[in-house]
Chain A
Amino acid sequence: MFYREAGDFKTSYLQDGQTFPIRFDRYRYYAVLAFGFLVVPFIINDYWANAILLPFLIYAIAAVGLNILTGYCGQVSLGTGGFMAVGAYACYKLMTAFPEVSMFIHVILAGGVTALVGVLFGLPSLRIKGFYLAVATLAAQFFLVWLFNRVPWFYNYSASGQISAPERDVFGIILTGPNAPAWATYLFCLIFLTLAGLIARNLTRGTVGRSWMAIRDMDIAAEIIGVNPLKAKMTAFAVSSFFVGISGALFFSIYLGAVEVGEAFGIQKSFLVLFMVIIGGLGSIFGSFAGAAFLVVLPVVLKLLGVDLLGWPTDIVAHFQLVIVGALIIVFLVLEPHGIAQLWRVVKEKLRLWPFPH
């Protein structure tokens, strides 16, 4: 009944190649966008923004970034936390050096800086693969965190070694600092997530994306048919790091406001984003969103249910949270090793035939 192509005729190549070829899907997508942009900003409050929506949007950008590298190009990376730190510190240095420039430009430039650093640390991927590359990116993770802890220039010689975001605005609307309204911070991150999703989706459908996937599926064969591995891998590292850098910049400036590199961008952050990508679904943009939602929203919901609704002691809820999230991860991966995105595809397939499956 849902998701049917029947009666949906494509009369041009453009129509045939669109992202959502099924009409129902397309309208659902527009509805979600309209809801996100036109409804949520009016009903949002500080709690929703800072506890649920901002972390979801920001982690989704990071997951899209890592999914390009790991899911589409097949290069395993454990350096996400470090690259997010590059984005955050680049954004901080830019914000303090050029206070009059718009935050949009700072965040995009921070992404650009991270892309450069990502390419630099991506160079070893030309020689090493798989687990060994994971170890090389792990080195990037530790080196970058150490660097930002060690060199006082990065944190403007502040006594505590923390960076904290001064108040900055876009077109007169305050975006960072404690006086920023919830709707503005939400919309700012939503715009970046929408752009990231659009760019990523279209890149992965084009030449660049196909060369990434060719490298992922079999790099020697890809090289023989004329895919340049240097170009494919470096573009994957650059695009991936660009998105990860943007998410790091937003994480620091919009969401937390003050950051300590070892705590905020440590190895656990790299794992968290990697788990989002794996649970959501490797090689799927929707999967990145679903994985981020799963790992950001679920703990908060469990906490609200346990502490506020049932009145259990906080430590028991915190322990249960680990147990339940862990168990759900295992259940998901056993039932559907290709992540939530595959589950969604199966559901769509079922819905198409429903209610007459034969």
Chain B
Amino acid sequence: MKKKLTALALGAMLAAGPAMAELVVPSLSYRTGPYAANGIPFADGYADYFTLLNERDGGIGGEMIKIVECETGYNTEKGVECYEGTKGDSPMVYEPLSTGITYQLIPKVTADGIPMHTLGYGRTSAKNGAVFRNIFNYPANYWDGASVAIKHILDQEGGDLKGKKIALVYHNSAYGKEPIRTLEELAKKHGYELSLLPVDHPGQEQKSQWLQIRRERPDYVIMWGWGVMNQVAIQEAVNIRFPMDHFIGIWWSGSENDVLPAGDKADGYKALTFHNLGSDYPIYDDLKKYVVEGGKAAGAGDQLGTALYNRGMYAAMLAAEAIKTAQGLAGTSAITPAQMRDGMEALEITEEKMAGLGLPNFGPAFKVSCENHGGDGYAAVAQWDAKAGSWSLITDYMQSDQEVLAPLVEADSMAYAKENGITPGCN
């Protein structure tokens, strides 16, 4: 029986041979499983932006973009299968939207010479491009997020956190553990007391963690959650009447899907973000005209304007701009993954560029260089208004505490370089 199946598989693979004269952008998405509620809007936004470029501009620099979607279910084994299945088509850039899959792929993409972009997730120390040549995590990373959250709390408390208690509720995985080191360093600097409350995958059971929060009464709760864990945590916080404006989620815990189940009680919940929210941008007119009305929207086409849709679109926008930069550098429109990598390293996002794309004031301006693959670490705090049913930014973009973070990034990336025998260098 196995022979028959493998023969079938072989036939299928031959039939699906690589496409010519197109730039292939794989989208490792997850539309099923406990993280689907968050995976769907991101994947839709990512696909729709490229569809818009194809429909409106005829691709990028005359090259059509071909999105190859592959379902990972947020599972690393399927992620590997997706990567192996798509890496032969000279893919431009991988955006796996999973810290676990990112860790899996870092050595693989480096060996295969394909760039990977991890937008606000993945391995933080990939910011050091001298070690992680093919990995990019601009415009902000987890440690920036942790630092900005503490900054916001400092602002709330008048600049003094001595003796305050802050609890971190986190997804018990590589993703959730990322901010711990930063929060511990910052605790030394600002003198707050940190308690750690891990929540196991998938996060539907959090009674004991929130019981502990109820008993210890921390002044603030920071959350590193994803998927169904976010909804449950916000509901539990409502149940123990925790003040919602003292509850701050990372950007992955700040979508509409997370707060809507808790209804009016979720009003005032805060989440970080590194880009703007809502659908009040000129690009949405084009999206409606070329993508939605043409019936070409990805998925059900009902996610436009949500926080994660915007983030997926932002990721696609950054990838498209990098492709343009790479085409300019290479002098050809049919670029290779290696040229794409150079393009990403030379990427510069300015206010004018974003305004020209129909996204004025959408995110911070930043410039990528070999030494800095991670942008400048600007993030803002958004707050949920349950009556209006929308997020709104309540602060300006704040820069993370680079004084604390830079040595941490340096130490962690150098440890990786030593472990893997990489000589850091920029050429």
Contacts and interface: CB of A to CB of B under 8 A. Distances in A.
A262 B107 CA distance: 21
A34 interface: no
B110 A162 contact: no
Contacts of B87: 46
Interface string B94-128: 00000110011011101110000000000100000
B18 to A, nearest CB: 11
B12 A304 contact: yes
Contact of B6 (A52, A290, A314, A319): A52
Given A263-B76, A297-B9, A304-B12, A51 B108 contact: no
Given A262-B172, A263-B76, A297-B9, A162 B103 contact: yes
Contact of A51 (B69, B85, B174): B85
A162 B198 CA distance: 15
A300 interface: yes
Contacts of A260: 76, 100, 103, 173-174
Nearest to A298: B5
Contacts of A218: none
B100 A51 contact: no
Given A161-B174, A257-B107, A263 B32 contact: no
Interface in B390-427: 412, 419-421
Contacts of B84: 46-47, 50-51
B31 A314 contact: yes
Contacts of A262: 172-173, 200-201
Interface stretch (A84-92, A123-131, A305-313): A305-313
A166 interface: yes
Nearest to A266: B201
B56 interface: no
Contacts of A178: 107-108, 110-112
B169 to A, nearest CB: 16
B16 A159 contact: no
Nearest to B2: A293
A264 interface: yes
A301 B12 contact: yes
A55 interface: yes
Interface residues of B, number: 54
Contacts of A340: 1
A105 interface: no
B31 A318 contact: yes
Interface string B282-297: 0000000000000000
A342 interface: no
Contacts of A319: 32
A166 B418 CA distance: 11
Contacts of A255: 80
B12 A314 contact: no
Contacts of B200: 262
Given A161-B174, A297-B5, A300-B81, A258 B104 contact: yes
B31 A160 contact: no
B172 A149 contact: yes
A258 B123 CA distance: 13
Given A149-B172, A304-B16, A315 B77 contact: no
B73 interface: yes
A256 B13 contact: no
A298 B32 CA distance: 18
A304 B75 contact: no
Interface in B17-40: 29, 31-32, 36, 40
A318 B71 CA distance: 7
A317 B72 CA distance: 12
The listed residue with most B CB atoms (<10 A of its CB), out of A290, A315, A318, is A315
Interface in A291-342: 293, 297-298, 300-301, 303-305, 307-309, 313-315, 317-319, 340
B9 A52 contact: yes
A38 to B, nearest CB: 17
Interface in B176-233: 177-178, 180-181, 198, 200-201
A160 B12 contact: no
Interface in B130-184: 172-174, 177-178, 180-181
Given A161-B177, A290-B1, A263 B31 contact: no
Nearest to A269: B77
B15 interface: yes
B64 interface: no
A161 B179 CA distance: 12
Interface in B61-87: 69-71, 73, 75-77, 80-81, 84-85, 87
Nearest to A293: B2
A177 to B, nearest CB: 6
B8 interface: yes
Contacts of B201: 262-263, 266
A18 interface: no
B9 A300 contact: yes
Given A50-B84, A166-B420, A177-B107, A314 B173 contact: no
Nearest to A51: B81
B88 interface: yes
A167 B420 contact: yes
Contacts of B178: 159-160
Contacts of A263: 75-76, 100, 173, 201
B173 A301 contact: no
Interface in A234-283: 255-260, 262-264, 266
B103 A164 contact: yes
B19 to A, nearest CB: 12
A299 to B, nearest CB: 9
Contacts of A300: 9, 81
A159 B412 contact: yes
Contacts of B104: 256-258
B248 to A, nearest CB: 22
Given A256-B77, A300-B9, A314-B70, A160 B85 contact: no
Given A258-B103, A263-B76, A293-B2, A47 B123 contact: no
Interface of A: 46-47, 50-52, 55, 149, 159-162, 164, 166-167, 177-179, 255-260, 262-264, 266, 290, 293, 297-298, 300-301, 303-305, 307-309, 313-315, 317-319, 340
Given A297-B6, A307-B71, 8 more contacts: A160-B123, A167-B420, A256-B104, A258-B104, A304-B13, A315-B31, A315-B36, A318-B31
24 contacts: A46-B87, A159-B178, A159-B180, A159-B181, A160-B103, A160-B123, A160-B178, A162-B100, A162-B174, A164-B103, A178-B107, A257-B104, A257-B108, A260-B100, A263-B75, A263-B173, A290-B1, A304-B12, A308-B12, A313-B69, A315-B299, A318-B71, A318-B73, A319-B32
Interchain residue pairs A-B with the least CB separation, the first 9: A315-B31, A178-B111, A308-B16, A160-B174, A304-B12, A314-B71, A178-B107, A51-B81, A318-B32
